[in-house]
Amino acid sequence: MKIASVILDIPTQALDAPYSYAVPDEMLSGEGGGEAALGAAGRPAQVGCAVLVTVGGRKAVGYIVGLEEPEASADGAYDLWGVPKAAADLRQIEAVLTDPFFDEEGAACAQYLADRYVAPLASCIRLFTPPGAVPRVVRGRDGRWRVEEAAIGEVDDRWVTRGEAFDDFEPRKNAVKQQAVLAAVAEGDVRLAELTREFGAVGSAVKALEAAGAVRVEHRRRLRGMEEIPPASGRTEAPPLTAGQVAAVEAIERARAAGDGQVVLIDGVTGSGKTEVYLQAIERTLAEGRRAIVLVPEISLTPQTVGRFRGRFGDAVAVMHSRMSPGERFDQWDFIRSGQAKVVVGARSALFTPAANVGLIVIDEEHEGSYKQDQAPRYHAREVAEYLMGRAGGAVVLGSATPSIESLYQAAKNPRWTQVSLPERANGRPMPVIEVVNMAAEFSSGARSMFSGRLTRALAEELGCGRKAVLLLNQRGFAKFLLCRDCGFVPECPHCSTSLTYHEAGQTLMCHHCGYTVAAPPVCPECGSPYLKKFGAGTQRVEADLRALLDGMPGVGPDVPIIRMDADTTQAKGAHQELLERFAAADAAVLLGTQMIAKGLDFDDVTVVGVINADTQLHLPDYRAGERTFQLIEQVAGRAGRAELDGRVLVQTYEADDVAVTAAARYDRATFLRCELPKRRLLAYPPYVRMANVLLWGADEHAVATEAELLHGQLAELVRNEVGERWQVLPAVPCALGKLRNTYRYHIVVKAPLEDDIAAPLARLFRARTPNPHVSAAVDVDPMDLL
């Protein structure tokens, strides 16, 4: 008998430690499975297995995170079977439900996440399980608990192949279906499902042929979704490296040789060849028998990106991202667990796939906010990668044309970080010239179009020559809305504290937070005025105005397509790939989209980039607003002039003198930082402090406000008693988005010196406090924003 440490699959802060259960010897050997409702008999109990246990009078699923020999009881007594009585008093695991999902390192990482991000252990361990493949316990109408089988599992296809008697077998003349099956198999192995689609019910014919030895029926594992992953069409050879790329690869090799989780920050302009640096560093890692993980932002996980890695590493590349179905993600997860996948490319969740012996983790576009999880556990992929490689003896590579201020600070201050600059494009071409267009001046001169004169002329010139353009509509921020010009009424969402967004298609008003939709009113609901003004511009309206503009241009006209990429047009599966293929196939075309087109796109014939409204983010109540605006302008500018053709970028803004805009237009990061960093230091924001955002939400505003005040008092007392005056606990106030999906939101910001562990005291408080049944609370350590 052994003692298992089990994390219960119940996401609550109160369950802050594993529970101990006895494991009978037959479960350790795999000879028994207890209530093996899922065919688990024969599975030995191991770290990472899902198991069935009883807790508090009910059945529950848990995960084994440790196995130990039992200690003797205090009096040294043993029971009749020679088991220490202390162990004999424990409840036993009742069934082993699955094979292991993770190992001891995965269990350690889950504990790290729970401690670092003040998150329930169950939520952390869930990151390591395949989507949809975890059994759960449900209570039936009779009051009894039962195990419900996992919804997702392997798919076995039946294939019909040649049998030993295939060449000699002669079907009867009237056995039409047997003849059809034999003719199909003669062309090669064929799935039984395909035969059925082609010839109808062929089950009896196949059985007769199998009995005669003419064919064999084999079960083969099918990986779902593989047809949508770009194929490995021949290995692409590594091109010669520039001096900067060589220096970057050498820096990565030194970090890997150190074997202690060092970080290399590749600070390279768009087109400088960062991806080739990743590829060559991965090749060297694989040559040593280790594996690699490559993280890219979800919006950058395009067929272009995946195709480059499969072109170099072939079918040994697995892909993981949220646009896959649960079945497809399970198959890729299992492909990784099998060891056949040597390189994992995916969004942030790829960190938790069962890839053993990882020696390198690459995080491309490391500045992207999507690397921060917005639900428990609210981890940041960069910090988790450092932790994993520190334990595994590998290295972390961060890459960006616009590194985050936190990463630049670490590279300057932390001896474990190395920064390598790639200031020039790999092909030697110059970065495109960025022109700032002052839209306030355009308006003053009588211009009323959303397209400035300079942008209009640039589009006419480039599209007329058969080239392509990219137009970015910066929609992040408070969206377009209706306003009554008589009484000032703005339609708002009844469930969220935000205005409703106007959609041209169908003339509807929609909340982009909760999905509430209503028809746009013909007159003001408050005063009856017909003067409802549309403020802001969505992609649908921009597309319509752009179509009218292009149709009237000599030499351009209606033959030039406009490909729109936004949340509406990319909902369908495979829509990203289809839209980008249309853009690539056209001679002259305009790609119009939101932030998803600002990065990850590499087209040789894009010669003009336009930013319709560059300053939207500057008006957000967010300390990162300037940094994000600077990054966005530089990132989207990099889409132009990537090959032999020169590129130009036109940035339209009403804040033409803002340092984030002017510095980005000159590619002058130093000037931007000289303005930004003193403000961050004065106001005590990262990178000079650690922050935690304590969030509270509920349906009753008074209850949320009362609980927020109570929690603020507890936090202030905790900080006062444990750390004194070095920390700040700001007052409890409503969030910038004070109401969301019918819940009211408050927050409390805690700030601490960089060297302090901000999570430990907060974790002790949250795990000891009695939860309010009407108000939810959570901690966001190192938040990306305070909205």
DSSP assignment, residue 35?
S
Position 682 pLDDT exceeds 70: yes
Q: Give dist(CA 775, CA 697) in Å, integer.
A: 6
**Residue spans in the chain of domains classed CATH 3.30.70.600:** 689-781
Q: Count CA atoms within 13 Å of residue 395 on its CB side.
A: 25
Write down the H helix ranges in 414-470. Answer: 439-444, 453-464
Class of domain 232-422: alpha beta
Position 651 pLDDT exceeds 70: yes
Q: Give dist(CA 313, CA 227) in Å, integer.
A: 17
Find the helix or strand (DSSP H, E) in which 550 lies: helix 539-551
The predicted-structure confidence for 298-321, as pLDDT tens digits, reads as follows 766 666 778 889 889 988 999 988
Q: Give dist(CA 351, CA 373) in Å, integer.
A: 12
The predicted-structure confidence for 85-129, as pLDDT tens digits, reads as follows 566 678 899 999 988 999 999 999 999 999 999 999 999 999 999
**Residue spans in the chain of domains classed CATH 3.40.1440.60:** 2-148
Q: How far is CA 133 from the centre of its chain?
A: 20
Residue type, 202: V
C-alpha distances (whole Å) from 144 to each of 57, 59, 91, 149, 356 are: 11, 9, 19, 16, 39
Position 36 pLDDT exceeds 50: no
Q: What is the pLDDT of residue 86?
A: 61
Asked if 665 contacts 609 with a C-beta cutoff of 8 angstroms, the reply is: no
Q: Give dist(CA 275, CA 602) in Å, integer.
A: 12
Q: What is the pLDDT of residue 76?
A: 58
**Residue spans in the chain of domains classed CATH 3.40.50.300:** 232-422, 433-477+538-681
Sign of the torsion formed by the C-alpha atoms of 307, 640, 618 and 664 = positive
Between these two residues, 32 and 583, which has the higher pLDDT value?
A: 583
Residue type, 280: Q
Position 755 pLDDT exceeds 70: yes
Helices (H) and strands (E) in the chain, counts: 22, 33
The predicted-structure confidence for 401-455, as pLDDT tens digits, reads as follows 999 999 999 999 999 999 999 999 988 889 999 999 998 888 788 887 889 999 9
pLDDT band of 32, cuts 50, 70, 90: low
Q: Give dist(CA 439, CA 436) in Å, integer.
A: 9
C-alpha distances (whole Å) from 622 to each of 527, 617, 772 are: 35, 9, 29
Position 689 pLDDT exceeds 60: yes
Dig out the tokens for 683 from the structure. 């106001």
Q: Give dist(CA 164, CA 263) in Å, integer.
A: 58
Q: Give dist(CA 441, CA 30) in Å, integer.
A: 77
Asked if 248 contacts 277 with a C-beta cutoff of 8 angstroms, the reply is: yes
Residue 380 phi, psi (nearest 5):
-110, 130
User: Cis peptide before 561, with omega less than 30 degrees from 0?
Assistant: no
Position 35 pLDDT exceeds 70: no
Residue type, 600: G
The domain 2-148 having CATH identifier 3.40.1440.60: the answer here is yes
User: What are residue 417's DSSP bridge partners?
Assistant: 263
Q: Where are the beta strands (DSSP E) in 401-477?
A: 417-422, 433-438, 468-472
Q: What angle do CA 541, 547, 551 make, to 5 degrees?
A: 155
End-to-end Cα distance, the chain: 52
Class of domain 155-227: mainly alpha
Q: Give dist(CA 673, CA 477) in Å, integer.
A: 23
**Residue spans in the chain of domains classed CATH 1.10.10:** 155-227
Q: Of 299, 362, 239, give the one whose Cα is nearest residue 635.
A: 299
DSSP assignment, residue 612?
S
The residues, ordered by sequence, that sit 6+ positions from 375 with a Cβ below 8 Å of its Cβ are none
The predicted-structure confidence for 157-171, as pLDDT tens digits, reads as follows 788 999 999 999 999
Q: What is the pLDDT of residue 607?
A: 92
The predicted-structure confidence for 51-90, as pLDDT tens digits, reads as follows 999 988 888 899 999 998 877 655 555 544 444 556 667 8
90, exposed or middle or buried, with CB in 10 Å at 0-12, 13-18, 19+?
middle
User: Cis peptide before 522, with omega less than 30 degrees from 0?
Assistant: no
Give the three-class secondary structure for 107.
helix
Position 151 pLDDT exceeds 90: no
pLDDT band of 45, cuts 50, 70, 90: very high
CATH number of 689-781, picked from 3.30.300.160, 3.30.70.600, 1.10.3470.10, 1.10.287.1080: 3.30.70.600
The mean predicted confidence, pLDDT, of the chain is 87
Give the three-class secondary structure for 328.
helix
Q: What is the pLDDT of residue 505?
A: 66
Dig out the tokens for 428 from the structure. 């030697």
Residue 88 phi, psi (nearest 5):
-65, -25
Residue 476: Cβ within 10 Å count: 16
Dig out the tokens for 275 from the structure. 């991806």
Give the three-class secondary structure for 93.
coil
High-pLDDT (> 70) share of the chain, %: 91
Q: Give dist(CA 195, CA 200) in Å, integer.
A: 7
Residue 50: Cβ within 10 Å count: 27
pLDDT band of 197, cuts 50, 70, 90: confident
Least reliable range by pLDDT among 38-47, 177-186, 387-396, 409-418: 38-47
Residue 451 phi, psi (nearest 5):
-105, 120
Asked if 347 contacts 297 with a C-beta cutoff of 8 angstroms, the reply is: yes
Q: Of 497, 489, 535, give the one whose Cα is nearest residue 516.
A: 497
**Highest-scoring range by mean pLDDT, 143-152, 240-249, 533-542:** 240-249
Q: Where are the beta strands (DSSP E) in 517-638?
A: 517-519, 532-535, 562-565, 589-593, 606-611
Q: How far is CA 551 from the centre of its chain?
A: 39
Between these two residues, 167 and 225, which has the higher pLDDT value?
A: 167
Residue 344 phi, psi (nearest 5):
-110, 120
Sign of the torsion formed by the C-alpha atoms of 762, 767, 768 and 773 = positive
The domain 433-477+538-681 having CATH identifier 3.40.50.300: the answer here is yes
DSSP for 178-234, written as a single string: HHHHHHHHHTS-EEHHHHHHHHS--HHHHHHHHHTTSEEEEEEEE-TTGGGSPP--S
Q: Give dist(CA 217, CA 204) in Å, integer.
A: 13
Asked if 774 contacts 701 with a C-beta cutoff of 8 angstroms, the reply is: no
Dig out the tokens for 556 from the structure. 């351009």
Find the helix or strand (DSSP H, E) in which 54 lies: strand 50-55
pLDDT average, residue stretch 351-375: 95
Q: Count CA atoms within 13 Å of residue 676 on its CB side.
A: 27
Q: Give dist(CA 401, CA 225) in Å, integer.
A: 32
Least reliable range by pLDDT among 287-301, 462-476, 494-508: 494-508
**203-211 and 176-186 helices cross at what angle (nearest 10)?**
70
pLDDT average, residue stretch 553-565: 90
Hunting for tokens 């003198």 — which residue is that? 657
